[in-house]
C-alpha cells in the first residue's frame, strides 16, 4: 500500500467520523493515472468524465457510506 493510499484512508476516516460526511467526492485529471489508481483503490465509484477549461478532461468519483 502506497503513501497516497494510506493518507487517503486517513482523510476518509476523518471525514466520516469527525466531520460526519455521508458522501465524499473525488476528481482527478484523466492523464493523472496515479491519482486515479489511488481513488479507485479507496473504493470510489466512477460517476462521469467532464471537459474543463482549456480542454482538460477530468474524471469524477463518489464514495457513498453504507
Task: List, in sequence order, every beta strand (DSSP E) within the chain.
Answer: 23-29, 45-51, 57-64
Question: Residue 1: which pLDDT band, with cuts at 50, 70 and 90?
Answer: low
Which of 1, 5, 47 lies closest to 24, judged by CA? Answer: 47
pLDDT at 65: 83
pLDDT, greater one: 13 or 65: 13
- Reported as a single tens digit per residue, the pLDDT across 2-57 is 899 999 999 999 999 999 999 999 999 999 999 999 999 999 999 999 999 899 99
Backbone angles phi, psi at 62, to 5 degrees: -140, 145
Amino acid at each position: 500500500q502506497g503513501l497516497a493510499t494510506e493518507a487517503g484512508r486517513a482523510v476518509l476516516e476523518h471525514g466520516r467520523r469527525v466531520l460526519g460526511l455521508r458522501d465524499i467526492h473525488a476528481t482527478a485529471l484523466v492523464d493523472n493515472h496515479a491519482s486515479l489508481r489511488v481513488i479507485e483503490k479507496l473504493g470510489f465509484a466512477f460517476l462521469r468524465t467532464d471537459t474543463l477549461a482549456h480542454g482538460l478532461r477530468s474524471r469524477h468519483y463518489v464514495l457513498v457510506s453504507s
